[in-house]
Amino acid sequence: MDWHLRDLSDEDLEEAVALDGLSSSVGQRALFPLSEVVAAIVAGEPAVAAEAGGHLVGTAVGRVDRDRGWILRITLHPQWRGRGLGSDLLAALEQRLVAAGARRLTAALPHGETGSAALANSGFVAREDITWFDKAEQARPRDVDTAAALGGSVPPANLWQQVQGMTAEKALIERRIVLPLSQPTLAEEHGVREPRAVMLFGPPGTGKTTFARAVASRLGWPFVELFPSRLSASSDGLAGGLSQAFTVLAGMEHVVVFIDEVEEIASRRETRGGDVGIVNELLKSIVAFRERPHRLLVCATNTIDALDGAFLRHGRFDYVLPIGPPDPAARLAMWQRATTAAGSGEVDLQALVDASAGFTPADIVHASQQVAQATFEATLAAGSRVRAGTADYLSAVAATRPTLDAGDVTRFEADIERYQRS
């Protein structure tokens, strides 16, 4: 034997990283990134080095998760392949993994990569029926903690799929906002600038908050909503609260920040008297927020014509997008979800879609809850399960006063003509 085996330590990191770059025999991306390998070494996970002539010529690094031992990396200097070194490294690493509590050992390598022969020779069985799925989470633990301190969180990963219908709005937001932020390198190659701030406008109850959360879900970024009422509790008032919140947000690498009903703090300054400083502070915060990439500010308003003129100038918001009442496809999805959740009987969904034209999502939720409550009470009274039908839902729709009237819709259409920037 021409090599000496010993424990690999963080003192070997520089040489181990250099060897990692020489070792690959297929040139494909490793299943476990180098950062994970280095983290395992620094953390004192089982790792073995092969030394010859005072230099590293091979390494094997593992990690123990409960009773499973993962073989993260086997590296060999090209001049030392085919001599049995890989098998020796693997045997020594296996001993250390078992001693650390592993009872099942698993390795995942690109096909034909360095170490494959050593694994086969050591009794590991290759599985050809497995597809490896990989997903890199964008949110750093530190950012998750910061978001939680501000009352935020990382939304579930499926919210974007749950926004059904609203196809035009989804397609526009996907193209203009999500894709440039999720594919920044490709976007930059084409000269597409990342959006940093977006304004959503439309009547109340149309789902602006849902869209903002869904964008954060689609990106895998923390979502933080800033509430003016809470910011006002700052000892320095609302302006001071805004400044403090954006100072904390500046330390986050990825985040979607949401301010709903922003007209409460950014309405026309000539109508606010002594509140001019609040608008100025928000404008200053937006400028500072836009200086760093990979972050998105989403503001929403029910009355866009009430906003201060300086607030909507080019350079503040990349896009100003309308979010209106749900289209027929969206209403169909909402009614389908509501009737399924209620365990209803046979229901003519198209009749409900037609009857609820102009309803907001909140209106549909209200009507469906009226039916759910009524059937719940009827079941208790009858002592057996009562299921709602089409007539029950149509009655609830007829009894629901829509959030929007014809005037609201007309004003929204006029706002689209005047303010939309997409």
Spatial distance between the Cα atoms of 197 and 136, rounded to a whole number of angstroms: 24
pLDDT band at 273 (very low <50, low <70, confident <90, very high): very low
pLDDT, tens digit, 9 for 90 and up, residues 186-237? 999 999 999 999 999 998 888 899 999 999 999 999 999 998 888 777 767 8
Q: What's 372's DSSP letter?
A: H
Q: Given phi > 0 = left and psi -120 to 50 = alpha, else beta, which region is 29?
A: beta
Does this model's pTM top 0.75? My answer is: no
Spatial distance between the Cα atoms of 158 and 140, rounded to a whole number of angstroms: 19
Helix/strand/coil for 199: strand
State whether the Cα torsion 172-174-175-176 is positive or negative. Answer: positive
Q: Which pLDDT score, from 0 to 100, does residue 275 have?
A: 62
77 and 19 in contact (C-beta within 8 Å)?
yes
CA 351 to chain centre: 36
pLDDT, tens digit, 9 for 90 and up, residues 106-126? 999 888 888 899 999 888 999
Architecture of domain 142-325: 3-Layer(aba) Sandwich (3.40)
Mean pLDDT of 85-113: 92
Give the mean pLDDT of the chain: 89
Right CATH number for 4-121 from 3.40.640.10, 2.60.40.10, 3.40.630.30, 3.40.50.720? Answer: 3.40.630.30
User: How is residue 233 written in tokens?
Assistant: 């509790």
Burial (CB count within 10 angstroms: exposed 0-12, middle 13-18, buried 19+), residue 405:
exposed
Cα-only R_g, the chain: 29
pLDDT, tens digit, 9 for 90 and up, residues 403-414? 988 888 899 999
Would you kindly state where each structural domain of the chain is located, as residue ranges?
4-121, 142-325, 328-403
Burial (CB count within 10 angstroms: exposed 0-12, middle 13-18, buried 19+), residue 87:
middle
Tell me what percent of the chain is helix, strand and coil, each rounded to the nearest 5. 50, 15, 35
* Nearest one of 285, 292, 322 to 194, comparing CA atoms: 292
Q: Which pLDDT score, from 0 to 100, does residue 314 have?
A: 82
Right CATH number for 328-403 from 1.20.1050.10, 1.10.260.40, 3.30.1550.10, 1.10.8.60? Answer: 1.10.8.60
